[in-house]
Structure 1
Amino acid sequence: MQKRETWGSRGGFIMAAVGSAIGLGNIWRFPYMAYENGGGAFLLPYFVAMLFAGIPFIILEYGLGHRFKGSAPRIFASISRRWEWLGWWQVLVAFVIATYYVVVIAWAMDYFLMSFDLGWGSDPKGFFFGEYLGLTDSPMNLGDIQWTIFTATCVAWAVAFIAVFTGIRGGVERLNKIFMPVLFLLVLVFIGRGIMLPGAVDGLNWLFRPDFSALLDAKVWSDAFGQIFYSISVGFAIMLAYSSYLPDDSDINNNGCMTVFINCGFSMLSGVMIFSVLGYMAGQQGVPISEVAGAGVGLAFVTLPTAVNLMPMPMFFGALFFLALVVAGLSSLISITEAVVSSLIDKLGMSRKKAATLVCAVGFMISCLYTTGGGLYLLDIVDHFINNFGVLLGGLLEIVFIAWFCDLEGMHRYINKMSDFAVGGIWVVCLRIIAPLMLGSMVLMNMYTDLSANYGDYSTTAVVMFGWLVLLGILALSWVFPCRECAFSNHVAINNNFRKRS
């Protein structure tokens, strides 16, 4: 068996873990979620979710990765060969995410270059959906490849390939030590200039003005827990893989808390960055902020370019914003790719170079679908089903399996032994009761919604083909991979005492 790599330093691991957790969703999802769910009042359920779900879950994954020294499939196979499929479910979910996430990074790369001459013109909405994306009339009509997007996608995959090809210390750690300080610097510079714009304070008031009546709405609490689960990269193989490279004497609890706190702090900074600009934009156009606030792709590639057009030094603001998107996206893409690569290395005994080449090559070929005129539709459908079912189900099953059918108390003792400070019995309660209840309710609510009506008013054919069948394909493949004799069979035999005896 190949000797497993380790991180060069604790700081390098934290930078990489934070780089995985901080992604595009922190910049364009958190601010809108806070705005929609009570403003400042949303921070209460958000912090509750962080303390009672996010931190316990990430500590669990750090503990599992550190103890079993393997990728997600290897860890679950080490506990019980019957549960290896769950590791592959999480890995395949991560791989599917990588295939479309890279295309959004490509959009940001193109827009970064366009920001130097405001290439989106005076009608950012028309430009984005028309000239840039070449959007067709339905997901069943892919249209032509958009070559600027295709080229940028090649570049994004090349960066991810170089990072994982050159190893944990030489590639992943080294790049994140550059990416994370640069990302924070970009955002802080943007904020420093943005909050001085006329109307910026009005935007921040809209974001953080508390509406405490929202705390009585169950959806607000569900959204807060959902934001935490989505943003810290747990439940789909990444943190399990990253923590498996930790040295033996690593501080698990401290590392977990630092990762979550830095991630959530960056989300707050993103809220200030986005809503200071939206406040200025609303003031310039003489409309309420509710008419310009948005989320997701529309916020990043339509609303913000429109705001940039109105701002002093527009090329400066545009370049800062889209470079921040590129850096945040690339750091997350590297972590997703590493989770898949490490699984192939563990399972098949492949060299890192061969595994990285295979994953990036296959991923790139699939990504080409998203660079077509119908790519945005495909991305929207696949992302919806992967996040609402792939990620949440993977996390739910992992927590239920480890907390209820394995020696969670033994893991509790293990992580406290390895840490400078101990987590108490509330950690066990969070993993056995609070996190499963919230994840379970979210999965059931999503299931009811998507079985009641087609997502996004897409045709039944499109929803079945690019939503439900993608999930079924992942499930089928997750059962196929464990059928092959694995390179970690001996490791399985050594570690399966973690499973509870009936």
Structure 2
Amino acid sequence: MLLGAFLIPYCLLAVVFGIPLFLLETSLGQFTQEGFVTCWRKVCPLAQGIGYAYLIQKLNGFCYILVQVWALFYLVFSFKSQLPWANCNNGWNTGESIIILVLMFNSHVSSQSESNQESRNHQLVNKTVKNWCQGEISHLLRRRMLGMSGGIEHLGSVRWELVLCLLACWVFCFFSIWKGVRSSGKVAYFTATFPYVMLLILLIRGLTLPGAFNGIYFYLFPSIEDLTNLKVWIEAGSQICFSYSLVTGNLIVLSSYNKYNNNCYRDCFFLCLLNSCTSFLAGFVVFSVLGFMAQQQGVTVDAVADSGPGLAFITYPQAAALMPLPQFWTVCFFLMLLLLAVDTHVKITSFITTVSDLFPKVLHAPIRHELFVLMVCLCNFLFQLMLVTEVSKSLP
């Protein structure tokens, strides 16, 4: 894995294009005081197609609420007396688990010598069961939560637990944005600060785990050869765009609420610094746990490192199950993830603000604005019902 080589290109690309582009977008929104379509109309009418491209892009961005749905699902499971991915005695385990386990055992036993077979068999069974049970968190994701079908052409049935989570997320989204930035700003006071408390708790716990410093060393001192891999630089650039919310129109809309003479240079510098420091701190949280997990399994850190959804919904919960009081640590982690996902509601806010600016006489009226927000949330909920079916997609 190339996660350890990520830090150097991330810092370099943040300075080269992340911060300048952040400043460009915030200054554009602050100067025009408009949404991301009408702002381009003011600057250059021929360029307003860029704003409409942002508008189309938002339709795909709404799907990020599924991260919040998954986090809520896992959070509910984290309150059980025994974490469901910490054992193999679950209803979603199939008979294939036992068959494969026996086949793995028999194929190795046949090669053992008679003299020392009993002790070796005992070690082999323990190792095989351990390795097999470590996949239970993957089973929870694929079978219990998603119920993945045979392929994208098989839609399957709706996962009703996910539908309830999806409904709860969109209801919360509606009440957090229905009054515009006045309501979403008040929600952000909590959702943007409380995750830092959870992050600090997880960091302290991670640093006290055995093997944590192996993971941190892997994080801070990557292999120089990995820096020549183009994939590392692409992932670093993607993370800059995603974490800074670049080229999405969100910065234009949010900065349009600033005063015209606001010091956007200062805001840009400190916001980017805070964002990057948070990402850097989160790296310590993740890699300290990966180092602990690697030591528990007797492998190197790169063997347990993962990226994308697999890191949040497979690797980290699997590591938390190995700690004392696993329920507490999984609750902290998924509560933090849930609150961080709430901040993605700014995508919906920027969409609503931009469309309202396109039709100000129709949508800026008090009652009509709330009805428009309700219609957007309801339509997205109905559309995303197909995303909580059993249709499968390749997952890590």
* Corresponding residue SS for 2:37: helix
Aligned in 2, Cα 1:296/1:45: closer, same or farther, shift over 3 Å?
Answer: closer
Match of 1:415 in 2: none
Relative to structure 1, the CA distance from residue 33 to residue 58 in structure 2 (aligned partners, 3 Å threshold; closer, same or farther) is farther
2:359 equivalent to 1:337: no
Shift of 1:121: 4.4
Q: Which runs of 5+ in 1 are unaligned?
A: 1-31, 381-455, 457-502
Query: In structure 2, do the counterparts of structure 1 residues 72 and 33 end up closer, same or farther at CA, with 3 Å as the change threshold?
Result: farther
- Provide the rounded CA distance (Å) in 2 between the counterparts of 1:325 and 1:246: 28
Aligned to 2:265: 253
After superposition, give the CA deviation of every residue in 1:460-500 in whole Å (9 maximum; x if it has no partner).
xxxxxxxxxxxxxxxxxxxxxxxxxxxxxxxxxxxxxxxxx
Q: How does 1:49-448 map to 2 (within 5 A)?
A: 49-98=13-62, 100-117=63-80, 118-122=83-87, 123-169=136-182, 171-332=183-344, 334-349=345-360, 350-351=363-364, 352-374=369-391, 377=393
CA separation in 2, counterparts of 1:225 and 1:371? 30
Q: Is the 8 A contact 1:95 1:337 kept in 2?
A: no
- CA positional deviation for 1:168: 0.9
The offset of 1:214, in angstroms, is 3.6
Identity %: 26
> AA paired with 1:107?
W
How many Å apart are 1:52 and its aligned residue? Answer: 1.6
CA shift at 1:249, angstroms? 2.7
Task: Give the conservation status (yes or no) of the 8 Å contact 1:54–1:228.
Answer: yes
Label 1:33 to 1:87 Cα distance change in 2 as closer, same or farther (>3 A): farther
For the residue of structure 1 that corresponds to 2:343, the secondary structure is: helix
Q: CA deviation at 1:224?
A: 2.5
CA gap of 1:197–1:328, structure 2 versus 1, over 3 A, is same
Task: Find the counterpart in structure 1 of residue 12 from structure 2.
Answer: 48
Q: CA deviation at 1:217?
A: 4.2
Larger Rg: 2
The answer as to whether partners of 1:340 and 1:359 remain within 8 angstroms in 2 is: no
Q: Which runs of 4+ in 1 moved over 6 A?
A: none
1:114, 1:120 within 8 Å by CA — same for their partners in 2?
no
Distance 1:33-1:83 versus aligned 2 partners, 3 A rule = farther
Moved more, 114-123 or 361-370: 114-123
| Matched AA of 1:164 | I
| 1:266, distance to aligned residue in structure 2 (A) | 1.1
CA distance in 1, matches of 2:68, 2:259: 32
The answer to whether the 8 Å contact 2:180/2:349 transfers is: no
Q: How many residues align?
A: 340
Distance 1:64 1:271 in 2: 32
Following the alignment from structure 2 to structure 1, what is the Cα–Cα distance between the partners of residues 145 and 233? 37
Q: What's the CA shift for 1:216?
A: 4.0
SS state of the match for residue 72, structure 1? coil
Gaps of 5+ in 2: 88-135
CA distance in 2, matches of 1:331, 1:115: 22
- Partners of 1:95 and 1:336 within 8 A in 2: no
- The answer to which structure, 1 or 2, has the higher relative contact order (CA under 8 A, 6+ apart) is 2
Aligned-partner Cα distance in 1 for 2:235–2:144? 34
Q: What is the alpha-carbon distance in structure 2 between the residues aligned to residue 302 and residue 165 of structure 1? A: 34
TM-superposed deviation, 1:33: 5.6
Partners of 2:60 and 2:238 lie apart in 1 by 20
Q: Structure 1 residues 160 and 33 mapped into 2: Cα distance closer, same or farther (>3 Å)?
A: farther
Counterpart position of 2:115: none
The CA RMSD measured in Å over matched residues stands at 1.8
Q: SS at 1:311's partner residue?
A: coil
Question: Shift of residue 79 of structure 1?
Answer: 2.2
